[in-house]
Amino acid sequence: MNPDTVVITDCDLPGTACEDTVTAAGLSVVRGAARSEDAVIDLVRDAAAAGATPSALVVQWAPLTARVLDEIEGVRFISRMGIGYDMVDVAAATERGIAVANTPTYCIEEVASHTVAMVLGLSRGLVGYDRAVRSGVWAATAPRPMAARLSATTVSVIGYGRIGSLVARSCAALGYRVLVHDPFVPDVDVAAAGYLPVSREQAIAEADVLSLHAPLSEATRHLLDASSIATMKPGAVVVNTCRGPLIDEEALADALEGGHLGAAALDVFSHEPLPADSRLRTLDQVLLSPHAAWFSPEAMADLPVHTAQNAIEFLAGRPVGSIVNPDYARALAR
């Protein structure tokens, strides 16, 4: 009997840590570079035709749609190489009895610290000061960049999960007033931590600094659009280290160019790499990083191992704590 096979649909990390972890557990592994629906289907089918038994997928960016899931027989588990899992149709996987797990703990410190660095950088105007000095301008009290007193500055955190809660705690420790919105966290828990629980609308409207940490879903796509941006304070700033499509980037660029918003710091974008013709590249008050908030040598070493271990544990019949669709088992019971 062939051992279970873990198919790595795509992975742009260097090295072979994911494969090595799988094979060390006695399973076989097939690694591909599939970034389209058809490529994923072909990869899994080719593995099966070669005598493998594809039972689990490791996915980084490949789209795992309902169509793909219908075409890859035998797959029982999907392990996402990362925290977000919007490239997987989780509802379709649940209907088909396929468990989906992510790797939610591998870069919490990194993303939170990157976020706080961006918040501080904008609050103290570091990017603008640096550019001014390099251009020959020596003016500590110029209207731009903003240089705020932290205790007089409100940071709104939308999304109070592992990363958002650490950002809130860090900002509060620095002296910011912190508001929190998360529809899945009881207000009493937020208040017990020392923050003010608010509605999404209030979080956006009262923010001097708005920091996004919500998962991407149909309910959160473009949660910051032209209408919600219009409710923000003049001069407010936006930080996004979560998912690019949470923001309507054209509306954001309009608000920055028009002067309604003061600045933005962005690590994630609707299309990555950020297109060369994006207006965000041309705006001096925008701080950009290349989807790098997750990165540290330690995080990069942990991610592929953690992702592979999810698949190993599941195929061995052991519990996987990061399964995001526990209802998948109901489909198997039908």
> Would you name the residues annotated as active-site residues?
243, 272, 291
Q: How many CA atoms lie within 13 A of 202 on its CB side?
A: 9
Q: Is the separation of the CB atoms in 5 and 27 below 8 Å?
A: yes
Q: Is the separation of the CB atoms in 222 and 247 below 8 Å?
A: yes
Distance (Å, whole) CA 145 – CA 258: 16
Q: Please name the residues in contact with 229: beta carbons below 8 A apart, sequence gap of 6 or more.
A: 251, 252, 255, 260, 261
**Beta-sheet pairing, 237-240 with 263-266:** parallel
SS3 151: helix
Residue 32, φ and ψ in degrees, nearest 5: -125, -170
Distance (Å, whole) CA 243 – CA 307: 20
Helix (H) or strand (E) holding 301: helix 297-315
Q: Is the peptide bond before 273 cis (omega within 30 degrees of 0)?
A: yes
